[in-house]
């Protein structure tokens, strides 16, 4: 909030892959170190960045709400998880594609295939917290997170859950950024949604 009020942004050239061939590779990309520092090597390998972000956000939210994971387990069946995402798992889909393209003789691992699924993040969060209430993933482009909030409200209204953890997460990848470039939906300058039109 302080950065926004000061007119600062977090835009820069993509660092997680080479975007130099694109019209624009200007993105707001989080430093992955802050999100994976507490994950095991296996988790880092099989969780993509969108899941790293989700884990970090949920842990911070629970801490701010003074909700210890141990308390959640007492009402595990009444706590839901819903994730809004456009393309969670895309990094692992790309890994599978490259694996097949390069005709690698080693089989694609089960863990890699599971991580490529769009609902992987919701499953990871539920397992990490030990909860087993309603679980869902909404993938409807830019409206994904807003729809997730609405569905969570329905669960509460119709007594399907007493508490719902709502997550919005996405990540950048070569295929996603190339797609937005192909649509010409990118800019060589940082976005400024509240600026005066030129």
Q: What is the DSSP string of 4-68?
A: HHTT---EEE--SS--TTSS--EEE---THHHHTTS-HHHHHHS-HHHHHHHHHHHHHHHHTT--
Residues 59-87 have a mean pLDDT of: 88
Whole-number percent of the chain with pLDDT over 90: 33
Report, as an integer, the average pLDDT of 132-147. Answer: 94
The Cα–Cα gap between 108 and 100 comes to 9
Note the pLDDT of residue 197.
58
User: Is residue 113 predicted with pLDDT exceeding 60?
Assistant: yes
Question: What span, in angstroms and rounded, lies between the C-alpha atoms of 71 and 105?
Answer: 46
Q: State pTM to two decimals.
A: 0.84
When mean pLDDT is compared over 16-20, 117-121, 145-149, the highest value belongs to 145-149
Listed residue (95, 77, 89, 16) closest to 51, CA to CA: 89
The band of 37, judged by pLDDT with boundaries at 50, 70 and 90, is low
Tell me how far apart the alpha carbons of residues 131 and 125 are, in angstroms, rounded to a whole number. 9
C-alpha to C-alpha distance for 187 and 190, rounded to whole angstroms:
7
Least Cα distance to 28 among 183, 171, 179, 180 occurs for: 171
pLDDT in tens, 115-129: 888 899 999 999 999
Q: What is the pLDDT of residue 137?
A: 95
Residues 58 and 121 sit within 8 Å (Cβ to Cβ): no
CA distance 175 to 186: 14
Instruction: Please indicate whether residue 16 or residue 152 has the higher confidence score (pLDDT).
Output: 152
């Amino acid at each position: 909030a302080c950065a926004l009020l000061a007119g600062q942004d977090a835009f820069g050239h993509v660092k997680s892959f080479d975007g130099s061939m694109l019209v624009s590779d200007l993105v707001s990309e989080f430093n992955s170190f802050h999100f994976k520092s507490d994950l095991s090597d296996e988790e880092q390998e099989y969780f993509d960045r969108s899941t790293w972000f989700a884990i970090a956000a949920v842990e911070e939210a629970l801490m701010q709400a003074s909700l210890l994971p141990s308390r959640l387990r007492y009402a595990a069946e009444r706590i839901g998880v819903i994730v809004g995402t456009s393309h969670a798992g895309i990094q692992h889909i790309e890994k599978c594609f490259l694996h097949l393209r390069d005709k690698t003789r080693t089989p694609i691992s089960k863990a890699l295939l599971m991580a490529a699924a769009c609902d992987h993040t919701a499953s990871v969060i539920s397992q990490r917290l030990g909860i087993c209430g309603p679980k869902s993933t909404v993938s409807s482009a830019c409206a994904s997170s807003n729809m997730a909030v609405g569905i969570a409200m329905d669960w509460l209204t119709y007594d399907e859950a007493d508490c719902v953890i709502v997550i919005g997460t996405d990540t950048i990848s070569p295929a996603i950024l190339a797609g937005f470039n192909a649509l010409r939906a990118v800019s060589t300058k940082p976005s400024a949604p509240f600026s005066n039109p030129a």
